Amino acid sequence: MERRVVITGLGPISPVGIGHLEFWDAVIHGKTNYREITRYPLKPECKTRIAAELDVYIPQIVDGNLDPLPPGIKGLNDEKYVDSSTIRKIQKFGVPFGGLSLYYAIAAAKLAMEDSHLNLDEEDLERIGCMVAAATGDMILIREAKPVFEITQYGAMGGISGTIAYEFGLQGVGVPLAGACASGNLSLQYGYKEILSGDQDIMLVGSVSAALASEAFFEACDQPTSGPMSTQNDLERPMKPFDIDRGGFVLGEGAGVLILEELNHALNRGAHIYAEVAGYAHSTDTATHMSDVSIGGYLRAMTGAVKRAGLTEDDLQNKTICINTHGTSTPKNDLIETMAIRKVFGDSAQRFFVNSIKGTTGHAQEASSAHELIAAALALDTNTIAPTIGLENPDPECGNLNFVKHHKVEEELDFVIKNASGFCGPYCTIILKKYVD
């Protein structure tokens, strides 16, 4: 009998919420957290001045002890989320904002395991793996810590999965992945295959980005030759996915970790099941420019995922389906993605619900698809479809699609199709479905 894989735990760390309850409340009600950059002074020539920053307090080591949080400050990186010994190891490098991606990833993993009520003392740790993706590792540690060789574990790309495994004592497969903004989808895909093969019973999957820790990265994205960021600096509607007036994305940050689990293992321990993984596909269309996208890349990913999930023409015409798009609010991506959707699904596409949550969360780079997978699982679990904040007047060139605007929609969902693409050519589509015994 083929093994089935379900989602039993969710751990989002995002600018609009920490933990799935706070995160989901913000996403379905469109509560944003955009503001002018506070982490560092921007150069006068920077055209983009705003971002979706996470509210964090970085604890300091004073006389060998962890400095307590100031009164009234909500700290992400205190002992509730990350062990003080880990903070000491990272802070010894003396790099401001160094290690944020590690703090985010560890905290997201802890929240996901707590949400899943996973008791590691009762589990075979060799059957629990970790595959949390990051395209750059902790880039600010890599750039600024000296000497560089000291930061192999904490700074390098593979350090994210390895650090989480070390933090919690996991002994299963631990593979680093990098797929730019498609990293969360790719992580889930490969974690799913590890469980389906029988090699693992539980996988921690997801992705992380601390893009806003690095002034250099922000300034690079601000250049029109390298990054399609919005220069509108509109705090009311900073991102406008699929809108005729869209002008690009606004950087966000954070992490998202999901607990994937073999169905019988989950049932035997009485875990809550948010959704079931139905299908996936991954394609590559190497672009002439790193931020370019193509119809072919999206088309192959969606077509392959639909086939692997076993969705029939009858399903497409009669089941209740939401497409949670990559939806970056850039002129090219939004047009190309909707063209691919219409090409894959034909007339059925007009009856699907279509949304993007990036208007609420900002574009968290690698972490974005993990945030969106968490939202997809919660949509199936709660029968609630989040609105596309910032979308007022759909671009006619994006087609006559059923965009969810302004307010959440309550609907008995059967499937969520989650698209993601990334700089330099990766495309990955994941299909989740409502769990039915």
Predicted local distance difference test score (pLDDT) of residue 109: 96
Cα separation, 294 vs 339, in Å, equals 10
CA angle, 409 as apex, 408 and 413 as ends, to 5°? 130
Is it the case that residue 72 has pLDDT exceeding 60?
Answer: no
Do you know the residue count of the chain? Answer: 437
Predicted local distance difference test score (pLDDT) of residue 75: 55
Is it the case that residue 158 has pLDDT exceeding 70?
Answer: no
Which residues are CB-contacts of 340 (< 8 A; sequence separation ≥ 6)? 295, 298, 299, 302
- Cβ contact 203:191 at 8 Å: yes
Residue type at position 422: G
- For 152, what's the count of Cα atoms within 13 Å in the CB-facing half-sphere? 2
Mean pLDDT score of the chain: 87
pLDDT tens per residue across span 112-141:
999 999 999 999 999 999 999 887 667 777
Task: Please report which helix (H) or strand (E) contains residue 77, including its range.
Answer: none
Cα separation, 356 vs 211, in Å, equals 20
Task: Please report which helix (H) or strand (E) contains residue 333, including its range.
Answer: helix 331-345
Residue with the bigger pLDDT between 98 and 272: it is 272
Domains 5-268 and 279-433 share a fold: yes
Residue with the bigger pLDDT between 343 and 211: it is 343
Neighbours of 324 (CB within 10 A): 27
β-pair partners for 271: none
Give the fold, CATH level 3, of 5-268: Peroxisomal Thiolase; Chain A, domain 1 (3.40.47)
β-pair partners for 50: 36
Per-residue pLDDT band for 108 (boundaries 50, 70, 90) equals very high
Task: Please report which helix (H) or strand (E) contains residue 297, including its range.
Answer: helix 295-309
Predicted local distance difference test score (pLDDT) of residue 131: 92
Question: What is the DSSP track for 116-127?
Answer: TT--GGGS-GGG
Task: Please report which helix (H) or strand (E) contains residue 163, including its range.
Answer: helix 159-168
Q: Mean pLDDT, to the nearest integer, of 335-356?
A: 96
Backbone φ and ψ of 79, nearest 5°: -65, -15
Q: List the chain domain ranges.
A: 5-268, 279-433
Q: CA dist 172 to 36, 61, 162, 182, Å?
A: 42, 33, 11, 24
Q: Mean pLDDT, to the nearest integer, of 309-336?
A: 95
Orientation angle between helical segments 20-29 and 368-382, nearest 10 degrees: 80
- pTM, full prediction: 0.93
Q: Mean pLDDT, to the nearest integer, of 96-120?
A: 91
Cα separation, 101 vs 108, in Å, equals 10
Cα separation, 81 vs 251, in Å, equals 24
pLDDT tens per residue across span 348-383:
999 999 999 999 999 998 899 999 999 999 999 999
Helix (H, G, I), strand (E, B) or coil at 254: strand
Predicted local distance difference test score (pLDDT) of residue 290: 59
CATH classification (class only), 279-433: alpha beta
- Cβ contact 273:7 at 8 Å: yes
Catalytic positions? 181, 326, 363
pLDDT tens per residue across span 17-32:
999 999 999 999 999 9
What tokens were used for 44? 């006068």
pLDDT tens per residue across span 252-301:
999 999 999 999 999 999 999 999 999 999 888 876 665 678 788 899 99
In 15-157 the beta strands, taken as DSSP E runs, fall at 17-18, 34-36, 50-52, 61-62, 65-66, 128-133
Backbone φ and ψ of 321, nearest 5°: -125, 135
Cα separation, 248 vs 252, in Å, equals 13
